[in-house]
Structure 1
């Protein structure tokens, strides 16, 4: 029986593939037959060295290192999945965000993708084939003003950039798609739930409810699992999604309350 979904012999770059949804995406792509290269600032002990390149993608030089590694190890790239993202901005609302904090959020959540695309997508266009997936966030629609204003704004910029890129390169054979997760139950988010639970004098399930409450609630009653986000990304990267481009797919358990 033919498998419904395969990435057999596809060459894929997945950024930030060492933990959370990024690691789940790397695992699934490999299970589906893809040749995967991933990157982060440091290599986990269990990561095969031939599929990893250490780099800081918040810098131009780091993006160039990764692009060079793609050409040397993969030859050409068929799929780029921009998983990198996050926030280290302090709490305190807009007034707590210095120019330096804004630059860090933009370098991490926007410019890393912009720079890598500029280095690698022209080669896809030349071959008239390829898929680019930008992982955005529902916070572009639901920013949390206490702590994520800059992160949300950077993800909104990434989404707009992605849409524009899709209009430019889709007629040339390259699909560009966005995946917009809500809360994902990663190791880091569970640590946050544990901390909130301790502060509130409750258990970890109570900590999770505090996080869900801050988001306005999640109708299905739980966050997404990293593997569920990976499933969506793998489908969109596959030939099964051959006519999908320029769209954004929300995976948030129903968190966004509007159409």
Structure 2
């Protein structure tokens, strides 16, 4: 992975303090590595540690699905980092069901807690410090599933759609305080978690052709680093006039008019 430098030869996020949720594997771990390589001090979290937590990052266990978990994580970030300049919400996910009516009420609530309300709660705890400093960068990680909602994942898709709308509104609210808020929407990315979810979906949809994967125009699935590159751009000075945007990184799989 390339170390990112600006024209003066200084790593562009040197001196910045970053918090990444869901940073123990896959896309989150790639984001953590990119931020570290760019010079940031990084705290990351997940519900449990894995061997893939990037070296150099501080890890704390936290369950961001609950208000208490978000409060504990915000407190840990203030204690470890002294404050947060870069906040990347990557924690998320859901299991497919055999149709919308098969999704229990508690699963809908869990999907909202993890994929939407976790970001709302953590933002509300950390944005005040950014406002005091008149500076901050927030990235919400969504999903291209929002572009083609399907019944087995409708709880997940609805939560991510809410996240995207919330992100745009927060960007407008916080822009006068120097806080930039953007969204990254990944397409099909090759990660162990993503592959497991796609296999579950295929088992729920055994009709002919259902397991066939549409071709990505750029000829391959995404890599976690592809999404991490987009996140790094959005939190860097190169995106200093960009807020309220949604950067879709999907290899051209989902054409938009």
TM over 0.5: yes
1:157 to 150, 157, 162: 162
Q: In structure 2, what is the Cα distance between the partners aligned to 1:120 and 1:197?
A: 39
Q: In structure 1, what is the Cα distance between the partners aligned to 2:27 and 2:117?
A: 20
1:104 aligns with 2:110: yes
Q: 1:120 offset after TM fit, Å?
A: 0.4
Asked if the contact 2:42/2:57 (under 8 Å) is kept, the reply is no
Asked if the contact 1:5/1:235 (under 8 Å) is kept, the reply is no
Asked if the contact 1:21/1:229 (under 8 Å) is kept, the reply is yes
1:78 aligns with 2:76: no
What does residue range 27-176 of structure 1 map to in structure 2 within 5 Å? 27-45=33-51, 47=53, 51-88=58-95, 90-145=96-151, 147-176=152-181
Q: In structure 2, what is the Cα distance between the partners aligned to 1:46 and 1:156?
A: 29
Q: 1:172 offset after TM fit, Å?
A: 1.3
Match of 2:3 in 1: none
Match of 2:206 in 1: none
Say which is worse superposed, 59-68 or 46-55, in terms of deviation.
46-55
Asked if the contact 1:5/1:238 (under 8 Å) is kept, the reply is no
Q: 1:193 to 1:103 in 2, by over 3 A?
A: closer
Q: In structure 2, what is the Cα distance between the partners aligned to 1:179 and 1:222?
A: 19
Q: 1:45 offset after TM fit, Å?
A: 4.2
Asked if the contact 1:5/1:240 (under 8 Å) is kept, the reply is no
Matched residue SS, 2:79: helix
Say which is worse superposed, 158-167 or 186-195, in terms of deviation.
186-195
Q: 1:86 to 1:241 in 2, by over 3 A?
A: same
Structure 2 residue runs of 5 or longer lacking an equivalent are 1-6, 204-208
Q: In structure 1, what is the Cα distance between the partners aligned to 2:201 and 2:103?
A: 23
Q: In structure 2, what is the Cα distance between the partners aligned to 1:165 and 1:60?
A: 19
Asked if the contact 2:149/2:157 (under 8 Å) is kept, the reply is yes
Q: 1:44 offset after TM fit, Å?
A: 2.1
1:8 aligns with 2:23: no
CA RMSD after TM alignment: 2.6
CA offsets per residue over residues 172-200 of structure 1, 9 Å max, x none? 110001101111111223456678999xx
Q: In structure 2, what is the Cα distance between the partners aligned to 1:222 and 1:195?
A: 21
Q: In structure 2, what is the Cα distance between the partners aligned to 1:254 and 1:61?
A: 39
Normalised by the length of structure 1, the TM-score is 0.88
Asked if the contact 2:185/2:246 (under 8 Å) is kept, the reply is yes
Task: Count residues in correspondence.
Answer: 247
